[in-house]
Amino acid sequence: MRPAYRQGRPRSFLMISFVNKTATVLPALSLLLFAGGMLLAHWELLPPTTGMALYVLGGLLGLLSLGAAVGVIVVSRAWPLALFALLGVLPFVAVAAGAGALFRYPRINDVSTDLQHPPAFAHAPTLPANAGRSFDFPAGNAPLIAAAYPDVQPVEVPFDPDAAYARALRLARETPNWTVTHEDAAAHTFEAVAVTKLFRWRDDVVVRITGAGEHASRIDMRSKSRDGKSDFGANAKRIQGFLDHLRLP
């Protein structure tokens, strides 16, 4: 009969080998999916939804990397490997921080300055990418917008509608990552597609100018995401940023 310590060695060796391999593979895969999903979506080699799915999966594997790091410390005490495994936790931290934003913003993806009569999209519904999407403004969004984004308000400028329309249209053309897709000078409205910086999500924008007394105009704006139920505040920020620029002399 072999001594007891000899019977236990193979099991210990296999355990150490498994833990060390796990601590090598998990963080590498976590970082690869996290960065790859983000970059491939940014370079438009993957749709934003696919890139986001890989990004989130990388974050979830990052949580498992934390367990792998603890396993290495307990089983093999290979400190450099444990530190490498902890690198895989970084994607989890980033994804968890983003998920936390779900609790800071309302679950809406369509924001307007005019909650009673939002600007209507005329051209966006005709785009092939929007086939099957509804562009009706959800009535339930109004109280959520009023509560979460009290600063999202129409802007009044000291120009007649023609001049205000030209000014707003010029700013839209100069705004990075915006493409003006439709112009209606007679109705003083135009539409654009705005592309987000990181994952290249495409959102539809409509701007409407109406008279507000002698030599004054009111500018309303609506921004709607094509994908997702929550926009993490992106549409409200876009509206506020654009209208703030129009307030400048």
- pLDDT over 80 (residue 2): no
With contact defined as beta carbons under 8 Å apart, do 18 and 72 qualify? no
Same domain, 97 and 179: no
Tens of pLDDT, residue by residue over 77-93, are: 888 888 999 998 999 99
Please identify, among 103, 122, 143, the residue that sits at the C-terminal boundary of a domain: 103
Same domain, 91 and 147: no
Please tell me which residue, 1 or 111, carries the higher pLDDT value: 111
Same domain, 71 and 194: no
- pLDDT over 60 (residue 1): no
**Helix, strand or coil, per DSSP, at residue 208:** strand
Same domain, 196 and 99: no
Please tell me which residue, 160 or 100, carries the higher pLDDT value: 160
- pLDDT over 60 (residue 145): yes
Q: Which parts of 119-249 are beta strand (E)?
A: 155-157, 178-184, 189-195, 202-211, 217-225
Same domain, 71 and 186: no
**C-alpha–C-alpha distance, residues 90 and 96, integer Å:** 10
Same domain, 119 and 86: no
Give the angle subtended at the CA of 113 by the CAs of 107 and 115, to the nearest 5°. 75
Q: Determine how many CB atoms are found less than 10 A away from the CB of residue 73.
A: 17
The reported pLDDT for the residue numbered 10 is 57
Please identify, among 43, 69, 103, the residue that sits at the C-terminal boundary of a domain: 103
**C-alpha–C-alpha distance, residues 238 and 223, integer Å:** 8
The reported pLDDT for the residue numbered 79 is 87
Same domain, 57 and 130: no
The reported pLDDT for the residue numbered 14 is 82
Please identify, among 103, 122, 153, the residue that sits at the C-terminal boundary of a domain: 103
Please tell me which residue, 208 or 70, carries the higher pLDDT value: 208
Scan for tokens 């994952």, then name that residue. 199
Domain that holds residue 185: 110-247
Tens of pLDDT, residue by residue over 178-237, are: 999 999 999 999 999 999 999 999 999 999 999 998 889 999 999 999 998 899 999 999
Q: How many domains does the chain have?
A: 2
Same domain, 116 and 32: no
CATH number at residue 223: 3.30.310.80
Tokens of 197: 């910086």
Same domain, 17 and 130: no
Same domain, 11 and 32: yes
The reported pLDDT for the residue numbered 164 is 97
Same domain, 125 and 59: no
Same domain, 97 and 187: no
